[in-house]
Amino acid sequence: MFKEQLNANMKKSVTLIEVLISAVFLTIIFTGILFVFAKCIILNEHNRNVTMATLHTQYVMEDIKNNNFSLIADSINNGDWDWGVEEIAAEGLSPLNSEVIAVNVDGTDLLDIEINVTWNNLEGRASPINIGFQTLLASP
């Protein structure tokens, strides 16, 4: 009877190989999940930075629109809206890492205004990230 019970218990037990295979399988799954989680954090940071740069561009555009049309081209060419980190912070905005806003204009009656925002990502990319916006502004 003891022998029959021992054989029955052995059939229900788990072997060492099965435990090791399960451990390897779970390790691979958890490593994949952690990798995806880390990438989501990086993408979230990148999307936050793009949103902030877009808001800064919108702020500059509104500031340009609120000026006298005849003076806009001259003030852009003088660099009045070319802002670095200090100028962005002085406007009450939160600057990105090494952010620079550069504004260019072309035309006289119909102004072709281009705004480029450049910043460095904190994730260690070698090259800075640059997004540009372009609009036309006509005299009222």
pLDDT of residue 38: 92
pLDDT of residue 107: 84
CA 115 to chain centre: 18
In tens, the pLDDT along 34-51 reads 999 999 998 898 899 899
State whether residue 116 is helix, strand or coil: strand
Contacts of 107 (CB under 8 A, 6+ apart): 73
Q: Which domain range does residue 122 map to?
A: 2-138
Higher pLDDT, 93 or 124: 93
pLDDT of residue 6: 57
Number of domains the chain is built from? 1
Rounded mean pLDDT of 63-79?
86
Whole-angstrom distance, CA of residue 23 vs CA of residue 81: 59
What does DSSP say about strands 100-106 and 110-119: parallel, antiparallel, or unpaired?
antiparallel
Inter-residue long-range contacts of 118-125, CB under 8 Å, 24+ positions, other chains counted: 119/49, 119/53, 120/96, 121/45, 121/46, 121/49, 121/97, 122/45, 122/97, 123/42, 123/45, 123/46
Higher pLDDT, 8 or 135: 135
Side-chain-facing half-sphere of 77: CA atoms under 13 Å: 11
pLDDT of residue 120: 87
Write the DSSP symbol of residue 140: -
Amino acid at 40: C
